[in-house]
Amino acid sequence: MRVLNLSLDSQVLEKDSAVQRRLLAFAEKIGNTTPALADSGTPFNKGELTVFVPAGRSTVESLSPNLTVQGFGGPKLFQFFRMWSRAVEEVKKNRYDLITVQDSFFLGFLGVQLGEKCKIPVEIQVHGFEKMVGGRKQLARFVLGKATKIRVVSERLKRELNSIFHIPHSKMYVLPVYTQIDTTQRISKRKTVPYPFTFLMVGRLVAVKNIGLQIRAIAELIKQIPHVRLVIVGDGPEKASLKLQVNSLKLEDKILFEGRQENVSTYYGEADAFLLTSDYEGWGRVVLEAAANKLPSIMTDVGLAQEVIKNNENGFVISVGDQSELVLAMKELIDKPELRERLGEAALRTFRSLPTQEVQIQKQVTEWQTLISRK
């Protein structure tokens, strides 16, 4: 099986990154075609995975016998033009059986046009829609309509695509984002109310995350409970305006901006509860990171809420944008250490029950095999 992956994640070029390790595992699985598959008549002989990605530099790196990554540098339009030209050149040599694209907009358009031109099945991977308005929405409609198969990361997203674009359920399959975190060491959280009680937020500082809701909630909460703080780990275009909001509320000593951190394990270890107040999420990987660290989460009803995190079972799920619900949930976690312990334990059990990387990869490869066999 020969797969061309058009990706937007340049971290695949970063040595030993989580993305690179995952793709190496995928490539190894693709390369190890079993006799059973060969006997089934499925035309898989030499297995290989090739990744094309816009990058800061132009490069070709052979990371394993089965994985090659090609980065395309330069201005954005130039990157896409070179990716298209190179992909057409490679596909004409009959090098690929399948194209999979991690984007449903411009890169997705390139993928479906390439698949149509060269008669190759195309899978579009949908992780969410943060900016699906105007022309982008119409572009997504075109791309998803042309795709042979669509992978979504949650049942919620599957329902959204069916509702918005009328994509048949049979054209989609659900495969969540794999979250690789070592939980071999048992984490013991404090059961008494610490000083100060620490809420944690990890993620990009962008409008859709609605971090301002957390700031306003803290401002209201400290009127009743002074020993509380919010730690914000991450960076982004909203940072300056969020800091202004904090300064105007005189909360500089209660809300700390830690910037982007390569290693966030210390922050999870020191926190007492996790907050995700997004207006929209495709999945919500950081909530799983919190669960792996035995942290109870309060999250809005987006992404993996109701599917993985269930209200009052292994976390709290509140309505999008509801400040009153958020404050009540925060206060309840502070006031009830036994509840914190129960939700944290349940969140950790939920995380440990999720499919392993091996299971995830096998399901992905099986879906690819099915697509190729229909050619």
Domain ranges of the chain: 2-178+356-373, 197-353
For 197-353, which CATH class? Answer: alpha beta
Tell me, what's the pLDDT at 38? Answer: 39
Tell me, what's the pLDDT at 326? Answer: 98
Query: Fold identical between 2-178+356-373 and 197-353?
Result: yes
Amino acid at 191: K
Nearest CA to 300 among 270, 274, 283, 280? Answer: 280
Tell me, what's the pLDDT at 37? Answer: 41
Whole-number Å distance between alpha carbons of 283 and 49: 25
Q: Half-sphere exposure of residue 235, counting CA atoms within 13 Å on the CB side?
A: 5
**Consecutive sets of 10 residues in the chain, 375 residues long: mean pLDDT of each?**
91 88 90 49 66 92 93 90 88 84 92 90 89 82 96 93 94 88 56 74 96 98 94 97 97 96 90 96 93 96 95 97 98 95 96 90 91 78
Tell me, what's the pLDDT at 44? Answer: 44
For residue 85, CA distances in Å to 2, 61, 307, 364 come to 19, 19, 41, 27
Tell me, what's the pLDDT at 194? Answer: 52
The CA-CA-CA angle for residues 218, 241, 283, to 5°, reads 70
Map tokens 């829609």 to a residue.
129
Tell me, what's the pLDDT at 43? Answer: 46
Give the predicted TM-score (pTM) of the model.
Answer: 0.86
Tell me, what's the pLDDT at 134? Answer: 77
CATH of domain 2-178+356-373: 3.40.50.2000
